[in-house]
Amino acid sequence: MHIVSIAAFSLIFLGGIGFFGFKVSKIARNIKLGRPEDRSGNFAERFKIMMLVAFGQSKMVVRPVAGILHLFIYLAFLLTQIELLEIIIDGFTGNHRLVWGALEGTALAGLYTFTINAIEFLSLLALIATVVFLFRRNIVRIARFQKPEMKGWPSKDANIILFGEIFLVTNIFLMNSGDQALQALGVYHQTGEFVLSGILASKLSGVSQETLIIIERIGWWGHLIGIVGFMVYLPFSKHFHIFLAFPNVFFSKLEPKGRFTNLESVTKEVKLMMDPSADPYAAPAEDAAPVSFGAKDVFDLSWKQLMDAYSCTECGRCTSECPANNTGKLLSPRAIMMKTRDRIEEVGAGIDKNGKDYRDEKTLLHNYISPEELWACTTCNACVQACPVNIDPLSIIIDLRRSLVMEESAAPGSLNTMFTNVENNSAPWQFSPADRLNWATEE
């Protein structure tokens, strides 16, 4: 029997890890399809931001209700990993609560009991949070979860994860209360009292030992399967943020938010144009890659912008602060991130099928993101400020605009007029540069 369960455990657990690793390597490959961008250096500062924003959830509490409820789930998740560790050890060795066995009688035994109690307590809080979240999404129907980009799969995804959470917590309590009842019968190790599952165990008095063992085992296997299921599911879900939030925040833009990148390719050409001694007809260097300006597809975005897309939690905090979206425009910064992810996933799938140089006919610009969305942006940075995992939708919007303007010459007519004015009069309006100081002498 032991051998069978060890084998079953190993199969489920290692299979899950293997599949997860496989999917993660695909995502990593997809992210690397992006352009290089230097986000190295400043380790101390980056580490600090990561601890604050990702680990410390500092931007979550801007919305206190969601922030605190999310904190419960987050802490429960972190702490439950300790219990998972014991499940893994027990699973591979065919033991029961081996960690307790090792600690029993030592000074650390109390810590074990305390930890399990803490896990149970946080799990209960997480359960409450999960129910409230389901309520907010499906009954109260909070506005930011009902935007067009949330129709269909994204809303289902969120609910699947929340139900998964309930499944996990239920199993923890099944396992621990079965265990407590069996301890009361003197069958299992005496681990000390687990307060919450102890209360549940008291309801199980009179249940036969065999049934209790089945309850405990259902909880144990259920928890394992829940965790592995989670792992297998994550790479397909917005919930991948539980991993990517950390590196994504670590590699945040550290400069002031108002600073946009200066395109180096443009600098070269502008310098040439302004240098009277440069030969305008000089042939480009042999090895010069063909330059394109701005981003038309995901390959033209940087790896960090693609990592942003995979880190998006689809929480919609960006969109609910966005002035364009707030006034009924088509633009939603969340949709920009979701579409970028959808496109990179599509590109990745194409490469899996047809080899690494495969390119389809589609592009992020036009096939996924329309000029109407892009032109509605006021570049106000509200989305960047609001994002709890420091995603920068604005940088993608600007890179796509650059392609529209510099590659396709497809700016709205009024902007072309503005460009002409800047070029000819050095002001966005039609005033003569000679009149620039007139204000000083006018009444």
Partner 1 sequence: MSDNLIKVPTMAEMMAAGETPDILFWVGCAGSFDDKAKRVTKAFVKILNKAGVKFAVLGTEEGCTGDPAKRAGNEFLFQMQAMQNIQVMNAYDVKKIVASCPHCLNTLKNEYPELGGHYEVLHHTELIQSLLNEGKITIPNGTFQGKRITYHDPCYLGRANGIYEAPRELLAKLDAALAEMPRNKERGFCCGAGGAQMFKEAEPGEREVNVARSEEALGVNPDVIAVGCPFCKTMMADGVKHFEKEETVTVMDVAEMIANAADL
- As a residue count, the chain comes to 443
Nearer Cβ to ligand SF4, position 49 or 391? 391
Q: From the CB of 277, what's the least distance to ligand SF4, in Å?
A: 41
398 binds, among ligand SF4, partner 1, none (CB under 5 to 8 A by kind): partner 1
Q: How far is the CB of 56 from ligand SF4 (least distance, A)?
A: 16
Nearest residue to 52 via CA among 249, 304, 257: 249
Is 401 among the residues that bind ligand SF4 (CB under 6 A)? no
Q: Give least dist CB 252 to partner 1, A.
A: 15
Q: How far is CA 134 from CA 71, 159, 331, in A?
A: 16, 7, 26
- Name which of 116 and 318 has its Cβ closer to ligand SF4: 318
Q: Contact with ligand SF4 (CB under 6 A): which of 112, 242, 393, 401?
A: 393
Footprint on this chain of partner 1 (rule: CB under 8 A): 62, 255-260, 262-263, 266-267, 269-271, 273-274, 293-294, 321, 323-324, 326-331, 372, 375-382, 384-386, 398, 401-406, 411-412, 414-415, 417-419, 422-423, 426-429, 431, 433-440, 442-443
Using DSSP's 3-state secondary structure scheme, residue 369 falls into strand
Shortest separation between residue 30's beta carbon and partner 1, angstroms = 26
Residues touching ligand SF4, count (CB under 6 A):
29
Q: Which burial class, exposed, middle or buried, applies to 394 when counting CB atoms under 10 A from its CB (0-12, 13-18, 19+)?
A: buried
Name residues whose C-beta falls within 8 Å of residue 34's C-beta, 6 or more positions apart in sequence: 298, 299, 301, 302, 303, 304, 305, 306, 307
Residue 15 vs 433, nearer CB to partner 1: 433
315 Cβ contact partners less than 8 Å away, ≥ 6 residues apart: 144, 334, 388
Q: What are the start-end ranges of the H helices in 56-194?
A: 64-93, 98-103, 109-138, 153-184
Q: Tell whether residue 438 is a contact of ligand SF4 (CB under 6 A).
A: no
Work out whether 387 is an interface residue with ligand SF4 (CB under 6 A).
Answer: yes
> Following DSSP, what letter does each residue of 213-242 receive, concatenated?
HHHHHHHHHHHHHHHHHHHHHGGGSGGGHH
Give the nearer residue to ligand SF4 in terms of CB position, either 99 or 374: 374
Residues 339/309, Cβ–Cβ less than 8 Å: no
Binding to ligand SF4 in span 347-386, by CB under 6 A:
377-383, 386
For position 396 contacting ligand SF4 by CB under 6 A, the verdict is no
List, in sequence order, every residue forming a beta bridge with 35; answer none if it has no partner.
302
**Residue with smaller CB distance to ligand SF4, 27 or 382:** 382
Closest approach, Cβ 399 to partner 1, in A, equals: 9
The rounded distance, in Å, linking the Cα atoms of 363 and 361 is 7
Q: What angle do CA 245, 345, 381 make, to 5 degrees?
A: 50
Q: Computed from CA positions of residues 226, 229, 231, 235, in that sequence, does the dihedral angle turn out positive or negative?
A: negative
Residue 314 contact, options partner 1, ligand SF4, none, Cβ 5-8 Å cut-off depending on partner type: ligand SF4
Among candidate residues 88, 165, 78, the one with its CA nearest the CA of residue 130: 165
The item of partner 1, ligand SF4, none sharing an interface with residue 269, based on CB under 5 to 8 Å by kind, is partner 1
Partner whose footprint covers residue 313, from partner 1, ligand SF4, none (CB < 5 to 8 Å by kind):
ligand SF4
**Rounded to the nearest whole angstrom, what is the least distance from the CB of residue 68 to ligand SF4 in the complex?**
17
Binding flag, residue 317, ligand SF4 (CB under 6 A)? yes
Q: Residue 393: is it exposed, middle or buried by C-beta count within 10 angstroms (0-12/13-18/19+)? A: buried
Q: Which of 160, 164, 188 is nearest to 175 (CA)?
A: 188
| Residue 154 touches ligand SF4, criterion: CB under 6 A | no
Give yes or no for a contact between 304 and 261, defined as CB atoms under 8 angstroms apart: no
By CB under 6 A, residue 307 contacts ligand SF4: no
Which of 123, 314, 374, 404 is close enough to bind ligand SF4 by CB under 6 A? 314
Residues that bind ligand SF4 (CB under 6 A): 312-318, 321-324, 331, 333-334, 337, 377-383, 386-387, 389, 391, 393-394, 397
